[in-house]
């Protein structure tokens, strides 16, 4: 699933290419990909509007239009946004096709889990519920040791599960929670309330570092995620545990193990993450 670094990469690449562009036409090729409003109203609401800016909140990509409307994409498991030359035909898994002044913008989603929303002038009607209840992003100044430790103290769940809670760690998913816990030396199964303040501080630092480095490397391409030009990110070359089960740890050479926590696959090093 695209996480904060992947969606931030898309945002950074889209902004200079489509800002100021008029949406000439809109085609919804898979009606159930539009969560709000109806597909017909969705297209009518976009036609002839102009892109003002491209923003992001956690895993949500938000295209703000001159009219004040917000075009929101939730990429979910396999959604991607690609930009092609004007006149390019939709691709195999294109679900929404927008023709702009100089480009075609395609929302591609092979599994049809991602969703699109067109929200009127900052109203909450139709807004995805997850977007309204986000916690703080780890790369934000407000994500401090005190903030995270206060949440840890209240939770008996495994620390990995707490990191995946979007009400607490907005934008973090399986990839970066595994990587941050490895670099912090914390076992994913540790009960959150047992993580000390000092350990929490170390985890906050590693989480920030991992996310920022992943943004610099244009995200992690281990599934369907690609950048807006269709090329891969490169952070997958720097992973220490994610999808490396059965391989030797890059630090101690111990075999990386995998387990399930809350129905989510989790990877860790038994030696580097002793407790």
Which residues are the active-site residues? 2-3, 59, 264
- Residue 248 to residue 171: CA distance in whole angstroms: 28
DSSP 85-113: ETTPPP-TTEEEEEEESSEEEEEE-TTS-
Q: Name the E strands within 126-271.
A: 257-261, 264-268
Q: What tokens appear for 209 in the block?
A: 């570092």
Closest CA to 56 of 217, 171, 188, 204: 171
Q: What tokens appear for 210 in the block?
A: 């991992």
**How big is the CA angle at 145 (ends 160 and 177), to the nearest 5 degrees?**
25
Phi, psi of 143 (to 5 degrees): -85, 90
Q: Name the E strands within 13-166.
A: 23-28, 34-36, 51-57, 60-65, 70-74, 80-85, 94-100, 103-108, 115-119
Q: Describe the strand order of the beta sheet including 70-74 as a list of residue ranges.
A: 34-36, 115-119, 70-74, 60-65, 51-57
- Residue 177 to residue 169: CA distance in whole angstroms: 10
Chain-centre distance for alpha carbon 13: 15
SS3 state at 252: coil
């Amino acid at each position: 699933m695209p996480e904060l670094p992947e969606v931030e990469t898309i945002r950074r690449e889209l902004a200079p290419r489509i800002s100021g562009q008029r949406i000439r036409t809109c085609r919804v090729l898979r009606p159930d990909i539009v969560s709000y409003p109806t597909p017909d109203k969705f297209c009518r609401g976009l036609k002839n509007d102009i892109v003002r800016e491209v923003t992001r909140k956690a895993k949500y990509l938000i295209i703000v239009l001159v009219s004040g409307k917000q075009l929101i994409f939730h990429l979910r498991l396999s959604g991607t946004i690609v930009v092609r030359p004007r006149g390019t035909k939709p691709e195999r898994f294109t679900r929404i096709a927008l023709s702009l002044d100089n480009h075609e913008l395609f929302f591609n989603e092979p599994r049809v889990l991602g969703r699109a929303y067109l929200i009127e002038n900052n109203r909450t009607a139709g807004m995805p519920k997850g977007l309204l209840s986000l916690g703080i992003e780890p790369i934000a100044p407000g994500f401090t040791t005190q903030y995270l430790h206060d949440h840890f103290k209240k939770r008996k769940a495994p620390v990995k599960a707490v990191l995946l809670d979007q009400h607490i760690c907005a934008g973090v998913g399986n990839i970066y929670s595994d990587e941050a816990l490895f670099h912090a030396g914390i076992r994913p199964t540790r009960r959150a309330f047992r993580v000390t303040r000092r350990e929490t501080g170390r985890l906050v630092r590693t989480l920030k570092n991992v996310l920022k480095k992943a943004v610099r490397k244009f995200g992690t391409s281990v599934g369907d995620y690609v950048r807006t030009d269709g090329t891969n990110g490169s952070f997958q070359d720097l992973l220490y545990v994610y999808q490396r089960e059965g391989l030797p740890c890059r630090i101690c050479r111990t075999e990386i193990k995998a387990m399930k926590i809350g129905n989510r696959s989790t990877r860790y090093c038994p030696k580097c993450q002793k407790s």
